[in-house]
Homo-oligomer: A and B are copies of this chain.
């Protein structure tokens, strides 16, 4: 079962945090087709946010075709975003974990590592310009 962690000071709205965390779980294969997302009630109890906020996030995921909401039943994963190369035992994952260790041993803090990573990500995977209206 996924567990959402809402950071009220991150600057990202709670509903977007739920969307992001769900997509991340889909990409990592933590959530697979048929899996049930936590009910709004469960999320409310775990995170102290408003049920409407959860429902808004689920609606957005449904809009993108990632989940299916069945009234009175629950919300279920419709399709996976996982790729075999990102499996839990993949080499890419192991290498990243090792890098984190080295970064930590070198005395970096989370924010330092995050800065390096963002920079490398932007170089390695340039964002496609979204372009005008």
User: Given A11-B13, A92-B99, A112-B27, A106–B85 Cβ distance below 8 Å?
Assistant: yes
Contact of A83 (CB < 8 Å), options: B96, B100, B108, B110: B108
Expressed in whole angstroms, the minimum distance between the Cβ of A94 and any Cβ of chain B is 10
Main secondary structure of the interface of A (DSSP, over half): helix
CA distance A109 to B123 in the complex (A): 13
CA distance A34 to B82 in the complex (A): 39
Write the A94-133 contact mask toward B (1 if CB under 8 angstroms, else 0): 0111011111101111111111111111011101001011
B12 touches A11 (CB 8 A): yes
Which residue in chain B gives the minimum CB-CB distance to A103?
B92
CA distance A102 to B91 in the complex (A): 10
Q: Answer whether residue A65 sits at the interface, using C-beta atoms and an 8 A cutoff.
A: yes
Q: Which residues of A contact B (CB under 8 A)?
A: 7, 9, 11-13, 16, 23-24, 27-28, 60, 63, 65, 78-79, 81, 83, 85-86, 92-93, 95-97, 99-104, 106-121, 123-125, 127, 130, 132-133
